[in-house]
Chain A
Amino acid sequence: MRKKLKKNKAARAALGILLFLILIALFGPMMTPYSYREQLTNEAGEYLSDMPPRIPFLKKLGIASGRATLKDRRVDGLSDTEKYPEGSVIRIKNRYTAPSGTEYCDVVVDYYVYKGVGEDVNFWFGTDQMGRDLWTRLWRGTRVSLLIALIAVTADLLIGTLYGAVCGYFGGKTDLILMRFAEIIRSIPNVVICSLFIMLFGTGIKTMILALAVRGWTQTAQLVRAQFLRNKTREYVLASRMMGASDGWLIFRHILPNSLSPLLTGAMMAVPSAIFTESFLAYIGLGIPAPEPSLGTLLSGAWPVLELYPLQTLLPALVISVLLIAFTLFTGGLRDVLDPSEI
């Protein structure tokens, strides 16, 4: 199995990317001196909002150099060192004269000097509207999103496996009643169930996990049930039963291990869909509350300033897209390995 997974280059690359993202989500926020919630100010007490990114060793190449273009500034105001500290103005573009006779232009400034921030202050990905460091927030948000998805999927697996196992193993009336109940929950659309949950318990990480898990387990239950129905009549189960094995022993030591591979693929598919649902809910305004970031709240927070500061949208959008693509590729590879009969 490991050999086969090694052969699938795309799945291998995807696994690498996933591991990298998980690592950076764990350690990224520690790499800066800034916290995810602190609204940073300069010495004058102004918020350092919407700072452009500056990365020390890339600065010389002209990438992430901390420059920004200020539009429609008065030309005669440029010499005012109070407003434009020495060395902040780098280039003047698009000079034009307004009908009133005043000259205007666009100014490229070193935004860090302009804001009066020292050489040693570097925001690698810039800051958001509230003056919070985006590098820290981005990776903390990735961590929060991954954590929510992982816990929700684990809960899905635990509840769904137990539920499905009981249904499939015992069959008959138990199965009928329990599965009817699961079917009713399944038939409620995700949007409805999540909004009801969030209304009931208020926004928060715990509520988000609950809202994701409350419908998710039914899928696992159905999958496990089908596996149990297929496996419970096999000879090895019969043999073990003849030797006096108890129900619990049969369920957990014999049938369940044989149902693991579809369960694993199912779980791997549930993680990206949980990440997706979380950011989806954030986008419609039902996300986790500020200041805690998640990929969804970062995206929805940056969306109003998309035109002015596209980078604030681009970064979380890239992370969530790469994360989801990597999950899709890896799950595809995993499925090929575990269940070669499916296309």
Chain B
Amino acid sequence: MLKYILKRLGMMALTLFAIVTLAFFVIRWMPGSPFDDPEYSPELVRMLEEKYRLHEPIPVQYFAFLKNIVTEGFWGVSFRIEPTVPVWKVIGERIPVTLGLNFISLLLSLPLGLLAGCCAALYKSKLPDVLISALVILFVSVPSFVAASALQYFLGYRTHLFPIIYRSLGSFPERLHSLLLPVFALSFYPVATLCRYLRGELLENFSEDYLLLARSKGLTRKQVLLRHAFPNALVPLMPVIVPMFTGILSGSLVVERIFGIPGVGGLVTQSIQAQDHFLTISVLFFYALIHLLTVLITDLSYGFIDPRIRLGGGRHA
């Protein structure tokens, strides 16, 4: 098992290295300079470029960049967004907001999705099931940014129930209140996916012998479903739940923009448009890292959940 994890971590490091390298060359080969500003004199631009060593050949820059990361853990400074601030500090300030938003959405989605899934399975083909299934299709299909705009318009502009944009300077309850709409917008898809999977899983379990036995002993459909089938159905859900986090994270790229939340999402386009090279690389690295971590956790969870699945193909895992 340990060997497998180490091997996976090694692969992950390689992939991350490839992404950083690719990003570096793509970004440096782009025409233009971060200091293309009509207000800057050519003299100033030259000095700035020399200061950040942007005038050197690209491979030289690349190795200097790598050397800084390996020896000092230094990823460079931001040029335009927050000049001269180290990039990870810029990103670090925004990570809590983004991760907070994502975790709240996930925490809200889990109970709701499970509840809806149970409800749909319990009343299969009856009114609640039909209703929930229709909502599931709606929530799965409608993109998060459309949902976000709709929420913003109807609950924000029209009824003034919620603030239209995130109040980053407000008190804690105020901030939480203004975070609710984005959380809702991000939760639709995960709730629907969870509900769909759980319903399918429960109904599949329902034809198994052990449930038939439980039924024949006189338990009601509801008891059987909740006490026997539900815990079993949770097992294969784990690999569905973990990747949902990546989904929410990329969804929050747009939702953050719509609600003006100062999270990591905005940095992607801002840094690309401002040609803030090192910031772009680091933000892309951040997204890749989270994505790879969730994939790894998902794969590992297969082994924990069902010991029959052997990881890595070793003789004994």
CB–CB A187/B142 < 8 A = no
Interface 9-residue window, one of B97-105, B172-180, B231-239, B284-292: B284-292
Q: In the complex, A329 Cα to B142 Cα: how many Å? A: 13
CB–CB B19/A191 < 8 A = no
Contact of B141 among A195, A280, A324 (CB under 8 A): A324
Q: In the complex, A343 Cα to B201 Cα: how many Å? A: 9
Q: A284 interface residue, CB < 8 Å from B?
A: yes
Return A128 CB to nearest CB of chain B, in Å.
Answer: 16
Q: A29 interface residue, CB < 8 Å from B?
A: no
Q: A313 interface residue, CB < 8 Å from B?
A: yes
CB–CB A284/B265 < 8 A = yes
Q: In the complex, A276 Cα to B30 Cα: how many Å? A: 27
B residues near A47, Cβ cutoff 8 Å: none
A residues near B250, Cβ cutoff 8 Å: 189-191, 280
Q: Find residues 229-267 in chain B having any chain A CB closer than 8 Å to their own CB.
A: 246, 250, 253-254, 257-258, 265
Interface 9-residue window, one of A37-45, A227-235, A303-311: A303-311
Q: A192 interface residue, CB < 8 Å from B?
A: yes
Q: Find residues 277-305 in chain B having any chain A CB closer than 8 Å to their own CB.
A: 280, 284, 287-288, 291-292, 295
Known contacts being A317-B146, A317-B150, is A325 close to B268, with CB within 8 Å?
A: no
CB–CB B257/A284 < 8 A = yes
A residues near B153, Cβ cutoff 8 Å: 306-307, 310, 313
Q: In the complex, A283 Cα to B18 Cα: how many Å? A: 27
Q: In the complex, A286 Cα to B19 Cα: how many Å? A: 20
B residues near A327, Cβ cutoff 8 Å: 141
Q: B204 interface residue, CB < 8 Å from A?
A: yes
CB–CB A189/B246 < 8 A = yes
Q: A207 interface residue, CB < 8 Å from B?
A: no
Q: A184 interface residue, CB < 8 Å from B?
A: yes
Known contacts being A317-B150, A324-B141, is A284 close to B291, with CB within 8 Å?
A: no
**B interface footprint on A259-288 (CB within 8 Å = 1, 0 otherwise):** 000000000000010001001100111100
CB–CB A187/B15 < 8 A = yes
B residues near A189, Cβ cutoff 8 Å: 246, 250, 287-288, 291
B residues near A284, Cβ cutoff 8 Å: 253-254, 257, 265, 268-269
CB–CB B254/A328 < 8 A = no
Q: In the complex, A276 Cα to B288 Cα: how many Å? A: 20
**A interface footprint on B128-146 (CB within 8 Å = 1, 0 otherwise):** 0000000001101111011
A residues near B22, Cβ cutoff 8 Å: 196
A residues near B2, Cβ cutoff 8 Å: none
Q: How many residues of A contact B (CB 8 A)?
A: 35
A residues near B200, Cβ cutoff 8 Å: 343
Contact of B145 among A192, A279, A325 (CB under 8 A): A279
Q: A90 interface residue, CB < 8 Å from B?
A: no
Q: Which residue of chain B lies nearest to A275 when distances are taken between CB atoms in the complex?
A: B143
Q: In the complex, A190 Cα to B250 Cα: how many Å? A: 9
Q: A256 interface residue, CB < 8 Å from B?
A: no
CB–CB B26/A196 < 8 A = yes
Q: In the complex, A248 Cα to B258 Cα: how many Å? A: 51
CB–CB A280/B27 < 8 A = no
Q: Find residues 181-237 in chain A having any chain B CB closer than 8 Å to their own CB.
A: 184, 187-192, 195-196, 199-200
Q: B210 interface residue, CB < 8 Å from A?
A: no
Q: A174 interface residue, CB < 8 Å from B?
A: no
B-side interface residues toward A, CB under 8 Å?
A: 12, 14-15, 18-19, 22-23, 26-27, 29-30, 137-138, 140-143, 145-146, 149-150, 152-153, 157, 200, 203-204, 246, 250, 253-254, 257-258, 265, 268-269, 272-273, 280, 284, 287-288, 291-292, 295
Name 7 interchain pairs, CB-CB below 8 A, sorted by A: A184-B18, A192-B287, A199-B27, A199-B280, A283-B254, A306-B149, A329-B137
